Amino acid sequence: MKESEFGKIAGEPVRERCRVFVVERDADARGRIETSLAAEGFKVEATAPDAGAFDRLKAEPFDIAVLDLKSPVDPKCIEICRRIKGDPDLSWLPVMAILAGDGKDEIARAFEAGADEFVGTPFSSGELSVRAKVLVRKGREERWLMERARRLAQKVAERDDELDDLRRFAQDIVSSLSSALLVLDAEWTILFANDAFLKAVGKDRREVAGRNLADLLAPQALKGPLGDALNAAVIAGRPGEIRRAAGLFAAAERICDARVTPIEYGGVRQILLALDDVTEQARAEEEVARERAKLNDIVNAMNASLCLIGSDRRILWQNRTFGIWFGDSYGQPGLAAFRAQIDSAGNPVEEVLRTGKVLRQNWSVFTPTGQRRFFSNILAPIRDQKGNPFQVLSLTQDVTDQETRIEQLNLLRELSIVLQGTLEQDKLFRVILICATAGHALGFNRAFLFTRNRQKNTLDGRMAVGPSSREEAFRIWAELSTKTRSLHDLLRNVESSPMDGGPLHRMVRELSYPMEDPSEIVPRTALEKKAQLVIDAESDPRVTERFRRLFGTNSFVSVPMVAKGTVVGVLLADNLYSGRPITDEHVKLLTLFAGQAGLAIENAETYAELQLRLQELKRAQDALVHSEKLATVGKMAAHVAHEIRNPLATIGGFARTMMRKPSNTERVARNAKIITEEVARLENILRAVMDFSRPASPNLKPTDLNAAIEHVCRVQNENLLGKNIRLFVDLDRSLPEIMIDETQISQVLINLIQNAMDSMPAGGELSVSSRRREEMAEVSVKDTGVGIPPEVMDKIFSPFFTTKQNGTGLGLAVSKKIIDDHGGRMNLYSEIGKGTEFVILLPLRGRTV
């Protein structure tokens, strides 16, 4: 082998690098070896086998050791060889033994001692060096391999440590897990179980390993869903999860969540089963659920509707009552009315959210069956975790009962006022019936009123109110829901709205029950003086077929109206259209009400009787007035007789004279003139009598009083001037037109002016004036005449009283009558020698005829 080849094997030129450590006891031999190796390029260090030989070998990097193992072998050399091969750092170092020959024992001993090669003495130097070179190459190879193996071993050892850590870590985790963890094979045999499982089944590791899961759990544990899940994992490789499985462990009533995970381990399907003891959570959850259910029951059972409203005003949640009220009972109008509250102009939801304050609302709704329900809303903010209001809780209570009670109290109070103040029977009947039907205190659909006819001893239908058909009822209810008038308003309107006399009213007007007939419910009510509540007329023996046919109602109540122990009538009411059941409370209230009504009817009857008496009185008075009139007529007749007798006597007398002495033409002419005058006088008297006696009710028309005065004054002015009387007229132009009979009032003025003229024979002044005096128009006619003596003042307006030569005594009487007929007054102020003033007062708002 060439050097270069060797160098290649060693990777480097051996000659320069190879160091040889030679141990040879024989100095000659040592020399030879040293020489021959050095000649071959080795760097040789040679020594006798002494104590320090091995240490040098170890301390310096030699490539080969050449040891003298010749027989008889030096134990020190054997020792060195063994130490080399026993030393892990040097075991790679190739050892060449120098043997005495090539005896087999010697060779065996050398190999036994660990030598790698040998040369037998004598050897050529070539032989030694070639072998040495080969050995060096092998040694280097071995050294490199050893180095590598050592490094690998080191790495493996490091990995092993890591794995150990990991394993410990995993074990720690697995054993510290509260969940029971199991690895099962396909037969459910336990391959692994963690501490938690051991604890759960109360066994140690050895008792569990290799046992079947079924033997460790409760007998029925795997018959249920857990078994199914395990099967599914084994067969289909499907993971599974069972929540809240109870009765898995025999020991205690524990509740577990189980998770089944199929795993592949070494190509074998296994199952990882995790059991979480969730007993406490489950109990807590159960508790919470129970509490929630309880709360829910309360919330649902409470007689108030609850809902949760979001900031967008949508209803997010509602309790059962809410659904019942605004879904079923009161239907669309109910929900619409509720929504109207929530959506009302003030935006209450927004307000509650903004202010965080509780808001109250009161509202009402007419249900589809015509009942009015009253509600009270409480809107309260619901706060989020930061305490900011973000939703609104609406608590709605049905306060109809309270409202109804208040209304009932009001009803009775108002009734006692209205009823006692109502004396006209028809109006009273209407009030009673309206009270029974309107409002929601009683709120019957229909009501019928019968009163006792004492003459015939019957109960007669007097009046009925209520819709005559279902359609009408619904129309009225719909109307009512838009304008909810209070009872007070309704009662106030009683007078203004006339009784329309619908079919119901006409029907009841024709009914008359004999008082003593208990077969009919109406007289029975009166006879027993007891309310009769009929729930099912069809089967009730108190109700006749005739009644059913007439009233068409199956459930009604009939109550007596009693006053001072006597039945004055019967009130009958039903809910034909709404079908609302009549409760005992309704009956009680209606009875109470009928008591009031009875008293009022009694009052009204007394009043009616009083009216009758009054009318009789009035007739008597009229008769009296008539007779007085007759007396007046008699008196008048006497006056007329007197007044007529004078002219008649005169006429008769002169006529006879003329008859006796027709030739005395002068006399005849004069007498004829006198007769003519007297006839004219008779005619005057006749006219005055006619004026007084004619039935002159004034024909009232809006009239400008001032214009009438001016007209009279204009006409009379000439006469006045002829008597040297100055006329002063002073009129109040602000007087409105008043309701008078202009002709009659003008007649009064003419009479007064005439009187004034007569009282001023020597002339004087006449003042006519008008002015307003409070609610009256005042007209004054004032003269500067002789005046009226006090003793005749009280007679001056009497018919036929006169102070005048040719007066009829009727002027002032007629004038006074006219003013009286106008609802006015006439006053008189007079002073002897100074004058007289007549003052007429006429109402500005004249009587309407």
Contact residues for another protein, defined by CB under 8 A:
638, 641-657, 674, 677-678, 802-805
In contact, 66 and 33? CB cutoff 8 Å: yes
- Picking from 813, 812, 811, 821, the residue whose alpha carbon sits closest to that of residue 842 is 821
- Picking from 109, 115, 79, the residue whose alpha carbon sits closest to that of residue 96 is 115
Residue 205 identity (one-letter amino acid) = R
Alpha carbons within 13 angstroms on the beta-carbon side of residue 429 total 22
CB of 757 to another protein, least distance (A): 17
Closest CB to another protein among residues 621, 806: 806
Structure token digits, residue 108: 């065996």
Question: What is the rounded CA–CA span in Å between residue 215 and residue 217?
Answer: 6
Closest CB to another protein among residues 246, 682: 682
Closest CB to another protein among residues 59, 659: 659
CB of 633 to another protein, least distance (A): 14
CB of 687 to another protein, least distance (A): 19
Residue 517 main-chain phi, psi, to 5 deg:
-105, 95
Cα 142–Cα 148–Cα 151 angle in degrees, nearest 5: 140
Closest CB to another protein among residues 194, 671: 671
User: Which SS3 state, helix, strand or coil, does residue 663 take?
Assistant: coil
Burial class (CB in 10 A: 0-12, 13-18, 19+), 591: middle
Question: What is the rounded CA–CA span in Å between residue 249 and residue 216?
Answer: 8
CB of 681 to another protein, least distance (A): 9
Burial class (CB in 10 A: 0-12, 13-18, 19+), 327: middle
Closest CB to another protein among residues 3, 677: 677
CB of 810 to another protein, least distance (A): 15
In contact, 723 and 693? CB cutoff 8 Å: no
Handedness of CA 497, 498, 502, 507 (dihedral sign): positive
Output DSSP code: residue 329.
I
CB of 615 to another protein, least distance (A): 36
Question: What is the rounded CA–CA span in Å between residue 408 and residue 599?
Answer: 18
Q: In what order do the strands lie in the sheet with 359-366?
A: 315-318, 304-310, 389-398, 372-383, 359-366
Question: What is the rounded CA–CA span in Å between residue 736 and residue 842?
Answer: 12
Closest CB to another protein among residues 318, 657: 657
Question: What is the rounded CA–CA span in Å between residue 290 and residue 293?
Answer: 5
CB of 630 to another protein, least distance (A): 16
Which residue reads 């008539």 in tokens?
Answer: 626
Closest CB to another protein among residues 249, 654: 654
CB of 784 to another protein, least distance (A): 22
CB of 816 to another protein, least distance (A): 20
Closest CB to another protein among residues 39, 641: 641
Residue 288 vs residues 17, 307, 384: alpha-carbon distances, Å: 88, 22, 21
Closest CB to another protein among residues 129, 755: 755
CB of 657 to another protein, least distance (A): 7
Buried b (16+ CB within 10 A) or exposed e, 639-653: bbeebbeebeebbee
Question: What is the rounded CA–CA span in Å between residue 473 and residue 465?
Answer: 11
CB of 638 to another protein, least distance (A): 6
CB of 674 to another protein, least distance (A): 5
Closest CB to another protein among residues 203, 635: 635
- Picking from 399, 541, 513, 387, the residue whose alpha carbon sits closest to that of residue 456 is 513
In contact, 515 and 526? CB cutoff 8 Å: yes
Closest CB to another protein among residues 423, 655: 655
CB of 682 to another protein, least distance (A): 12
CB of 670 to another protein, least distance (A): 9
Helix ranges, 448-583 (H): 470-482, 487-492, 503-509, 521-528, 545-551
Closest CB to another protein among residues 563, 812: 812
CB of 763 to another protein, least distance (A): 22
Closest CB to another protein among residues 592, 644: 644
Closest CB to another protein among residues 509, 670: 670
Q: Classify residue 389 as left (phi > 0), alpha (psi -120 to 50) or beta.
A: beta
- Picking from 262, 259, 273, the residue whose alpha carbon sits closest to that of residue 192 is 273
Closest CB to another protein among residues 717, 803: 803
Structure token digits, residue 411: 């009803």
Which residue reads 């659909």 in tokens?
Answer: 445
CB of 782 to another protein, least distance (A): 23
Characterize the bridge pairing of strands 19-23 and 64-68: parallel
Closest CB to another protein among residues 155, 661: 661
Largest CA distance in the chain: 245
